Chains A and B, each alone.
Chain A
């Protein structure tokens, strides 16, 4: 059936082209000044526009993982004196898991040619800040509260992202495997801050039609949260899928 095979070849080429275009968008969109376009940062504000499709979504998850690992690195370099041995064992485990998630995404980017090297460089260049008002790494309670914020954010973000991925047999299962472990992290951090708060009403609705469901954040909402900690670099995901 020559028609059928040429049709599928054409369809494949088009998909491949679109995939590449999404990556190129990320590369080309390191913004330094953006005039009057309302969706872009104000003039003079540096920004990073994520790509489209699965590449854009995984790039965004990669930034979440960099945000997490940067915090744990800071908190564990000279740990707060009142962290117990049990606390530290837990925090070190979580740090390793987050590093492994981060590095797994780098492998996927490189080996699947999903995100090109310059774009990975841009993503790795985003410098996160951990303002002391939110992230007090000199006390047990401060470290654990910071970790709780980061893990709850990660869970809500991944829960809102996984369904947007088109790769139902590769990237979707990968994100779910991470989501489960991040949920375990979040619950543990919450229990460390306040025993029994593993699924507290600020993370899991306890009444109404959403009772028993974890909160979710769309990529746009999670990026807004991340932008509080990017030292002025505005992350945008205007090409990310929304449905």
Chain B
């Protein structure tokens, strides 16, 4: 098999063939690195893998760890999409001035579902859309008024979206060798953080009976008037004392994300150490400005490992969701 001749022939009909590989150099490095000791019999499989990678996903060719990250992301997107869609379908729940914003968020989630499905193809956990009946938004009875109490609805929304932002940060390092998929995940992650910011801004206004206005956060009541960023552990989030399910784990430390052979911790959101350095004590602030631990914690969001994310999310699946295997360990 003359691989170079094959690619050269493809180039005649598809001038962009080399761009379809990550780069020509990387494509051949991939081959020479792995291929040196391969027998001729093993070559076709290797070439198949290379071309699957170049000509798009959805061909069953993604590695298992990448598939796991994307399928968890997809399930979280369904959790959110159905939550916003249910809210929009409940008259009077969402204030009139917020309907457009929640519609934007719901539509963004639909876009994320589409992108993730394109990447996964037949490796998606299910080929059907997950219906709203797969979820239990009361959180096993912890939030029975989620769809009658506007403030509670936005509190649950904040908990979902912040879990999602952390989940993407926990999963992304595992995608690092697949640049196209990683780029999509980074973009989705940014959009989820934008959503969180908005939901938090709205919650402050709701808690002040002033929807549609900009209200300052209350550092002494971060549960109800949070900043648009996570400060410390946000005092446990929107419902730290709900039972049986509360929101503390959304901001607490999680487990380990294993990237290759390197274990990456999931610190709590009040973590100050990044890239091995302390963001508070290591920062040289301009004269007159003090860098507090709160400010230093706010400046960086933290990742959360898949197992902890699933433990949080399993609280919000119904029996039907369990039957679908949503958020299974």
Interface residues of A in 138-190 (CB under 8 A from B): 155, 159-160, 162-163, 168-174, 176-181, 183-188
Query: CA separation between A177 and B214, bound complex, in Å?
Result: 26
| CB pairs A–B below 8 angstroms (17 shown) | A97-B298, A99-B286, A107-B283, A108-B277, A155-B190, A163-B179, A169-B260, A173-B173, A176-B169, A176-B303, A188-B201, A196-B198, A198-B195, A211-B111, A213-B188, A216-B186, A243-B22
| Cα separation A181 to B228 with both chains bound (whole Å) | 9
Is A224 an interface residue, CB under 8 A from the partner? no
Which B residues lie within 8 Å of A84 (CB)? 214
- CA A183 – CA B191 in complex, angstroms? 7
Residue-wise interface mask of B (164-186) relative to A, using a CB-CB cutoff of 8 A (1 in contact, 0 not): 01000100110010010011101
Contact assessment for B301 and A180 in the assembled complex, using a CB-CB cutoff below 8 Å: yes
The answer, yes or no, to whether B7 is at the interface (CB within 8 Å) is no
Name the contact of A89 in the complex, choosing from B169, B184, B217, B260 (C-beta under 8 A): B217
Please name all residues of chain A whose beta carbon is closer than 8 Å to the beta carbon of B101 when the two chains form the complex.
196, 198
- In the assembled complex, the Cα of A181 lies from the Cα of B286 at a distance in Å of 21
Would you call A206 an interface residue if the criterion is a C-beta within 8 Å of the partner chain's C-beta atoms? yes
For the complex, is B30 an interface residue (Cβ under 8 Å from A)? no
A14 / chain B contacts, CB cutoff of 8 Å: none
Tell whether, in the assembled complex, residue A181 and residue B229 are in contact, meaning their CB atoms are under 8 Å apart.
Answer: yes
Contact, CB under 8 Å: B216 / A89: yes
B33-41, B102-110, B131-139, B239-247: which one contacts chain A? B102-110
Contact check, B107 vs A86: say whether CB atoms are below 8 A apart: no
Cα–Cα, bound, A188→B298 (Å): 14
**How close is A241's CB to chain B, nearest CB, in angstroms?**
10
Query: Is there contact, CB below 8 Å, between B107 and A211?
Result: yes
Question: Is the C-beta of A100 less than 8 angstroms from some C-beta in chain B?
Answer: yes
Question: B43 within 8 Å of A by Cβ?
Answer: no
B224 to chain A: closest CB distance in Å? 16
Give the CA-CA distance A107 to B172 in the complex, in Å: 24
Q: Are A168 and B179 in contact (CB under 8 A)?
A: no
Q: A97-B299, A155-B190, A168-B260 are contacts. A107–B214 as well, Cβ < 8 Å? A: no
Does A66 interact with chain B (Cβ within 8 Å)?
Answer: no
Whole-angstrom distance from the CB of B168 to the nearest CB of chain A? 8
Q: Mark A92-113, 1 if CB is under 8 A from B, else 0.
A: 0100110111011011100110
Indicate if the CB atoms of B289 and A174 lie closer than 8 Å. no
Within 56-96 of A, Cβ neighbours of B (below 8 Å) are at 73, 84-87, 89-90, 93, 96
**Is the CB of A212 closer than 8 A to any CB of chain B?**
yes
- State in angstroms the CA–CA spacing of A174 and B300 once bound together: 8
Docked-complex contact A96 and B215, CB < 8 angstroms: no
CB–CB B112/A199 < 8 A: no
Which single residue of chain A is at the shortest CB-CB distance from B177? A168
Most chain A beta-carbon neighbours within 10 Å: one of B169, B194, B285: B194
Pick the contact of A191: B107, B111, B198, B291 (CB < 8 A). B198
Residue A126, interface by CB 8 Å? no
Q: Does A199 lie within 8 Å of B300, measured CB to CB? A: no
B191 adjacent to A212 (CB under 8 Å): yes
Assess the A214–B190 pair: CB atoms within 8 A. Answer: yes
B298/A93 in contact, CB under 8 A: yes
**For residues 187 through 203 of chain B, which have their beta carbon under 8 Å from a beta carbon of chain A?**
187-191, 193-198, 201
Return chain A residues, CB-CB under 8 Å to B275: 104, 107-108, 112, 170-171, 173-174
- A205-220 CB mask vs B (1 if < 8 Å, else 0) is 1100011111010000
Which of A107, A185, A188, A216 contacts B277, CB < 8 Å?
Answer: A107
Shortest beta-carbon distance, A185 to chain B, in Å? Answer: 8
- Closest B residue to A164 by beta carbon equals B179
Q: Do A103 and B190 touch across chains, with their CB atoms under 8 A apart?
A: no
Contact B23 A243 (CB under 8 A): yes
Docked Cα-Cα span, A174 to B169, in Å, equals 10
C-alpha gap A99/B296 in the complex (Å): 10
CB distance from B176 to the nearest CB of A (A): 4
CB-CB contacts of B270-301 with A at 8 A, as 1s and 0s? 00001111011011111001010001101111
> In the complex, which of the residues A97, A176, A195, A204 contacts B295, with contact meaning CB atoms closer than 8 Å?
A97
A162 CA to B187 CA, complexed, in Å: 11
CB distance A162 to B186 under 8 Å? yes
Could you tell me if A169 and B214 are in contact, using CB atoms closer than 8 angstroms? Answer: no
